[in-house]
Chains A and B, each alone.
Chain A
Amino acid sequence: MKLRFWFLLPARIWLTMLLAVPLGIICVYSLLTRGAYGGVSLPWTAENFTRLADPLYGAILLRSLWMAAAATALCLLMGFPLALFIARARKWRGLYLFLVILPFWTSFLVRTYAWMFLLRDTGLVNAALQAAGIIREPLTLLYNNGAVLLGLVYGYLPFMVLPLYSTLERQDPALLEAAADLGAKPLAALFRVVIPLAAPGIRAGSILVFIPCVGAFLTPDLLGGGKTVMIGNLVQNQFTTARDWPFGSSVSLALMTVVVALVVLFLRRDAEEAL
């Protein structure tokens, strides 16, 4: 018992200092009045939460959830075949996995800027298409929902591929042989055996992509050009430009509540399946 206490102590301190305390601060801030130059002051008020009822914020939240869901679906559609390919590769498996995580070696900010250079009117993509004579006028590739979605999928695809790979790689090859033996063609085996058995990986990957996508602010800011406001931008805005820390805190709490509710929904389904 003693040993257990000491081994868990670092994690306890870490979680208290970096999770519980900041969360407490946000809860307190969300109930205070904004200060003149940022920060917070008394008196206590519930106004920060009543303001959330404004349809404007509901629309932003819905758009964020929608964008995150679309990004998650695209990551799954692209990540599954990739993960399956890597899991079934006879050689070079280590290299493929290395390539999947290679982008993490540079800053996400730098990579997002790189996309801007590629997509802007005078960017590489438009220049190449014009040079090839396919288009005359540059296409508007940047500062729209499509660009934001692209940025999100690009940024979070590895978070989908890795958990999918780990479940697919562990699948017993004899199960596939059994499926074929019982008359299942490759596609039937994929949908009846491989995908159902990869469900834990699909759920883990989806949660890992969905959560950061809902709260993303860098990608919509840079690739959406501020036109596509997601809830992360709203929060960031309150703490920087608008200097309304209490409202920023209440939006954060609202976002967190929604995300936790969705994750619990996912996990409860997991629990039911396990029974």
Chain B
Amino acid sequence: MTKKRIFGEDIIIALEPILELREVTRQHGGRRIVDRISFSVPRGAFYSLLGPSGCGKTTTLRLIAGFDAPSAGEILLSGVRVNERKPYERNVSTVFQSYALFPHLTVQGNVEFGLRRISSPDIGRKVKEALALVELTGKEARYPAQLSGGERQRVALARSLVMDPDVLLLDEPLSALDPKLRKQMRVELKALQSRVGTTFLFVTHDQEEALSMSDSIAVMNGGRIEQIGSPETVYLRPATRFVAGFMGAVNWIRGVGLRPESLRLARLAPNGGPCCAATVTRSVFLGNCLQVHVRLESGEEAVAEVERSSDAFQAGESIHAFWKGADEMVFP
């Protein structure tokens, strides 16, 4: 940390990232599961590792937690190299995909487990606060088997947060929940993170999850990081074709990428801007919008998501497809 003296007040500016990976590689059986990845997580951020299954994101999390050792590169926590430290010597905590709650311990026993190992003072008060934070007050005496999926997840969160970790590592924590609860927990998890101010490193394969919660997203593929940026950047300005395709649907027209919502349709040719003649092949009602499939004069297929309107485009109709030059996603 850097201290600067401004107007007689000590203002600590946390310029230094709380977690940093430098050229980290994990080799297993001759295969590079994680291939020279580097990123740094600012203090207090909600940072996501996003990618398809098998892209190395969970392995990256395990390297940071200390369950696996990197084959090369450096992992730094608050500027200190931790490669050689055992999991119990690192001030990070993991919320496991399966939650990994201790089945023989109550909610209370699970949450105080870590505090007892480090002989923390004020265990009772800390556990109470942690359980209040995740709204589990009153369930102290329950066993994990007596809790719902959402409650188990909150126990796992409380058990990790009570340790006051430098970084909380979350391994697809929402994937075990049913879809409705999952969307609700997105909001709750984000709110919880803002409230406690702990740095979250969130692993997911769900781009919507990453977009809706993160300050920054690192998109991974094949053990490498394809792009790091804000949700807006990775969605609107993807660095590679892979990122463009992974973040959402893409139409490839004349070599540039266009999101379905950027593609507009009209019966009359608009004035100026990129445009081409098209034929409607199919029109699908999606509730919140209308999905229109078109074939362009070049023979390329494209999908546009347009507003619902009374004069819906009919299959076979000849129309014009156009878009704004600024919405084009161009890749080398």
Contacts and interface: CB of A to CB of B under 8 A. Distances in A.
Answer yes or no: are A and B bound together in one complex.
yes
Nearest to B156: A178
B98 A180 contact: no
20 contacts: A172-B100, A178-B102, A179-B113, A180-B66, A180-B67, A181-B93, A181-B160, A182-B114, A182-B117, A182-B163, A183-B114, A183-B117, A184-B88, A184-B113, A184-B114, A184-B117, A192-B113, A193-B102, A196-B104, A197-B103
B214 interface: no
B113 A182 contact: yes
Q: Which 9 A-B pairs have the closest CB atoms?
A: A182-B114, A183-B117, A174-B100, A180-B87, A178-B100, A196-B104, A183-B88, A184-B117, A183-B118
A91 interface: no
A179 B114 CA distance: 8
Contacts of B94: 177-178, 181
B252 interface: no
B101 to A, nearest CB: 8
Contacts of A177: 65, 67, 87, 94, 96, 100
The range of chain B's interface size is 20 to 34
Interface in B73-123: 86-88, 92-94, 96, 98, 100-104, 113-114, 117-118
A260 interface: no
Interface of A: 172, 174-175, 177-185, 188, 192-193, 196-197, 199
Contacts of B88: 180-185
B159 interface: yes
B67 A175 contact: no
Most chain A CB within a 10 A radius of its CB, from B92, B93, B98, B104: B104
A79 to B, nearest CB: 21
Contacts of B100: 172, 174-175, 177-178
A170 B166 CA distance: 32
A56 to B, nearest CB: 45
Contacts of A180: 66-67, 86-88
A178 B117 contact: no
Nearest to A196: B104
A191 to B, nearest CB: 11
A182 B93 contact: yes
A44 B160 CA distance: 71
Nearest to B159: A182
A177 B88 CA distance: 9
Nearest to B171: A174
B296 to A, nearest CB: 50
A197 B144 CA distance: 14
Given A172-B98, A174-B96, A188-B117, A181 B87 contact: yes
Given A192-B113, A196-B104, A197-B103, A178 B118 contact: no
A175 B105 CA distance: 12
Contacts of B113: 179, 182, 184, 192
Nearest to A178: B100
Nearest to A176: B100
A182 B114 CA distance: 4
A193 B104 CA distance: 8
A227 B74 CA distance: 68
B164 to A, nearest CB: 12
Given A182-B88, A182-B113, A199-B104, 13 more contacts: A177-B65, A177-B96, A178-B94, A178-B100, A181-B92, A181-B114, A182-B93, A182-B114, A183-B114, A184-B114, A192-B113, A193-B102, A197-B104
Nearest to B101: A178
Nearest to A175: B100
A207 B66 CA distance: 40
A134 B128 CA distance: 64
B59 to A, nearest CB: 13
B291 to A, nearest CB: 41
B209 to A, nearest CB: 21
A177 to B, nearest CB: 5
A188 B96 CA distance: 20
Contacts of A174: 96, 98, 100
B63 to A, nearest CB: 13
